[in-house]
Structure 1
Amino acid sequence: MRTQVVIVGGGPSGLLLGQLLHKAGVETVVLERQSREYVLGRIRAGVLERGLVDLMGQAGVDARMKAEGFVHDGTLIAYDNDMFRVDFAAHTDATVLVYGQTEVTRDLYDARDSTGGDTHFEVEEVSIQDADTDAPFVTYSQHGQTHRIDCDFVAGCDGFHGVSRKTIPEDVRREYEKVYPFGWLGILSETPPVNDELIYANSDRGFALCSMRNANLSRYYIQCETSDDPANWTDEAFWDELRRRIPPQAAEALVTGPSIEKSIAPLRSFVCEPMRWGRLFLCGDAAHIVPPTGAKGLNTAASDVHYLNQGLRQYYGEGDSAGIDQYSIRALARVWKTQRFSWWFSTLMHHFPGQTEFDKKMQLAELALLRDNNEAQAAMALNYVGLPY
């Protein structure tokens, strides 16, 4: 088999790239390790930056998102039982859209089906070969049979544990990592959100986040030990702890109910440089991870897709390789800025082991500055709605 671009990974970034390239007449084959049902069953963030919203429009898959998504033009920050609002629209003339990543993925799969896109699920032993030559190819096994796809380029959209990043020789790639000494215990419940906008709470008991998926589906998180186990938390214990960490007015308005999903997510900052090796390009979690504070994971993957889509369109449409040659530099320049924001927001809102009274006072001073200073709020709003591509 031969195609122009092999996309390793059938999550939202790989599917979005495939749909954008289809619009440009570029052929792709998508390889996904899991089943379609498994991919659509994953619970992920649901805050979409303006850039991702625009890309969904360019891909022609934004109709349901626009009809069912919730526009948020601000967010709430709580500390010391007080709460203030950062107005995104006032500071940036832009907003974010709350729409579940699962729904983004579903829309992209439906679009790929409608265009007859070639997608292979439950593939194993994926190997990217000769990526540093002009004739790369990908081999894989599926249902006991081995297959080979020759191609012009490979897009590695297969996540942190995928094969793509590991294909780049160790003496070529450099990796940067910060592991945070806590995790997030999250639950999903069929209850109305406690507020129309997200609430990020800094508490002496630890961080908390009140989020949502839609008008009757809420997502809540509390900071926990990395060694903790969701089985240690009854629903009642979770709700009680959440109430202790959010302002009284929010705690009183909280509607509780049985959890339909409960899990613990570790927090990590990670970047791999470069994001290109020969004809292999890394996108999204294959190249970088951010802590979930500020919801930059999927959104930063989307910016990678934007730069790679531009480069490949330029290559196939104009015979110009400048875009793909500059891909890694352009993508990483924005990646590091989103890393900085995620690190800053995480440092501001969480309780760290060994935190001194001085450290706590510095957090409170920074929060007070954010509350009282328009320039500080404007900087946060700009990063939250998404830096321009």
Structure 2
Amino acid sequence: MTTEQKALVTATVGTLRAHGVALTTHFYRRMFEHNPELKNVFNMGNQQTGKQQTALAMAVLAYAENIEDPSVLVHAVTKIGHKHVSLDIRPEHYAIVGRHLIASIGEVLGEAATPALLDAWTVAYGQLAKLMSGLESGLYQKAVSQEGGWTGWRPFTVKQKVAESTEITSFYLYPADGGRVADFLPGQYVSVRLFLPALNLFQPRQYSLSSAPNGEYYRISVKKEAGSQHPNGMISNRLHDFVHEGDIIELAAPAGDFTLETTKQTPVVLVSGGVGQTPLLSMLDYLTLTGSPRQVVWVHGSRNAQVHAFREPVADLVAGYDNVQQHIFYDTLAPGLEAKNHYTGIVDLQQLNGNTLLSEADYYVCGPAPFIRKQVQDLTALGVPREAIHFEEFGPATLSV
């Protein structure tokens, strides 16, 4: 890009801050009108809630703000790249998106969208698309280069459905072709694609892998969303109600950068709320199965024991390993739990200061956005370095902490 073009892009920062979501909302509406086939690629639940529009607006703003040095966005770009690979996004999709994005800028800004400004954003988007496509090409190549790896959508057989609580059920997924499955890093997810008759669309949804890698199957643990009519809940509920043992579903290869650093020997604190425990279960499973000597603290919050999935398996793990301890928070406590590292209320790490703040530990946090925000703020207030705090937000990245 020329200096003048960079200046033109930077000059749109104020507009993007004030009207970015309006722009991205117009963009998605336009793109789906002209390319309705992409409704099968994009998660329409995130469209309905506005999360996808907000996430894209934040990404476009961040790119404009850092147009002089986009390398500072490497972490965010990597996270988006993993999500795109899990959705089978290909270079040709970038051409479609770019065409509609530039057209949307012109239609939303009106006379302010001069030919020079549109040219500048065309060049800027082209550079970003090239960066993203290059990153994703590397991820695709890595996926197919390992034993059991693949790209695109692969059929898997549901061999087991196991109820883990009144709300959460685990699905044990084996390749329908009889082959092996690629290993993954503890904390990663897979995309599941189902056909939703109510929408007459295929819809993707990411689910964290909830067990350690084993080369034979993947396990996802899915929460049923009571009364939910938006597509995210429809996918989870369809898995619960209409997908049975022996059925075939489609999966993309494991992806995601919220992963356990397996080369470290420092302590690990795993902090989760509700179904947010699923990627952390994979980490805990890995650490115990490999006989890791690392100190591990498991902190989990749930409404009560009935909806608390994996309560007994985790308790058994804790009992079998001297270097693993757990702390459980319930909205209400049943009699007899008070003296067994159980607490009343939401997860409060400050209440556990003496037990959980291990020296040089890495903290992995997963749960609803308000839960993550509170835990990160509490850890920061307790003096934990920001680089030691890792978190995963389910869905498009809109959380800023």
What is the TM-score of this pair, normalised by structure 1?
0.26
Which fold has the larger relative contact order, with Cα–Cα distance below 8 Å and residues 6 or more apart in sequence?
Answer: 1
TM-score (norm 2): 0.25
Q: By percentage of residues, which structure has more helix?
A: 2
Q: Per residue, is there more strand in 1 or in 2? A: 1
